[in-house]
Amino acid sequence: MTRRHRLLALLVAVLWGLNFVAIDLGLHPAPGEDVPPLLFVALRFTLVVLPWIFFVRKPAVSWAAILGVGLFMSAGQFGLLYLAISLGMPAGLASLVLQAQVLLTVLLAAVFLGERPRGLQLAGLLVGALGLVVVAVGRSAVAPVLPLVVVLAAALSWAAGNVIARKARAASGLGLVVWSGMVVPLPLLGLSLVVDGPAAVGDALLHLGTVTIASAFYTALLASLVGYGIWNHLLALYEPASVVPFTLLVPVVGMGTAWLVLAEVPSAVEMVGAVILLAGVATALARARGTAHERGAGLSTGGAHQVSGAARDEDHQPEGAS
């Protein structure tokens, strides 16, 4: 992976880490006030789609790919994640458990795309998984079982969306985010009407507070449009095993922000787990840097081989080149 793409991946990790606290604040804007989670997801993706869909061209992928990414990476992942946080899952712990998608993505990519992780990449992912287990054990005493299971289901949905996005290889990551976002608002609004009732939905829409509105704009514009635009672009260029290790940094940002903003203080065990996570990231990325000249062999067949040549050229650019 080139230097510029590594920096973009780090930016995504920061945006997504902050995203969990933004979601928590939006769902619980004040004591005793809650916004229906599925309605909140529908609002988020309404902002993702409108007005951008009139200015962003449809990506050159099939409608099946757009539907798949919308259902799994957007509706499934965030519908389940918002539901878990509304059920009491701490935002910091949610940012950690959701990173189970790293291992699930690599597993699904191996099964459906035939992309096997290299030796040290696999070792890095295993070390990262150990860090996730350590932090999860540190928080298990305060995390209800049901929200934990719901977040794991969200991780599986994200992993499936990753693989679909990788297979689609959309040239425009932003286009894929916007157009696949069309799948989300109406179905989740309908589910919210069924689950929460028309009265609760109507009352929430009529009394949206400043915090909830700010949260919706952050999650839509920065976490979704910017974050997933970059993410889908990177998945089109590189194997998931080279891209997904960066998301192991998300819980470090998420837990740190939850500590500062929501007073979710990490325990000593959680801090040890965070260090192990960083060690896993370093191990996986060391292999990715070491194989920059092997990119042609590492990417799947098709148009990605042309991308690999450009990536190798960019790795040889002077220090200030973009």
Per-residue pLDDT tens for 190-236? 999 999 999 999 999 998 899 999 999 999 999 988 987 888 788 87
Beta strands, E only, the chain:
none
Show the tokens assigned to 88. 């009491």
| Mean pLDDT on 129-144 | 74
User: What pLDDT, on a 0 to 100 scale, did the predictor assign at position 23?
Assistant: 96
pLDDT surpasses 80 at 144? no
| Mean pLDDT on 153-168 | 89
pLDDT surpasses 70 at 302? no
| Mean pLDDT on 149-170 | 88
According to DSSP, residue 238 is labeled S
Torsion-angle region of residue 321: left (phi > 0), alpha (psi -120 to 50) or beta?
Answer: beta
User: What pLDDT, on a 0 to 100 scale, did the predictor assign at position 293?
Assistant: 40
Residue type, 188: L
User: What pLDDT, on a 0 to 100 scale, did the predictor assign at position 47?
Assistant: 95
User: What pLDDT, on a 0 to 100 scale, did the predictor assign at position 296?
Assistant: 36
Q: Which of 69-73, 136-140, 279-283, 293-297 has the highest mean pLDDT?
A: 69-73
CA angle 16, 212, 80 (to 5 degrees): 55
User: What pLDDT, on a 0 to 100 scale, did the predictor assign at position 297?
Assistant: 34
14 against 275, higher pLDDT? 14
| Mean pLDDT on 11-39 | 92
Question: Model confidence at 177, in pLDDT bands (50, 70, 90)?
Answer: confident
User: What pLDDT, on a 0 to 100 scale, did the predictor assign at position 42?
Assistant: 96
What's the mean per-residue pLDDT of the chain? Answer: 81
Q: Which of 40-49, 174-183, 304-313 has the highest mean pLDDT?
A: 40-49
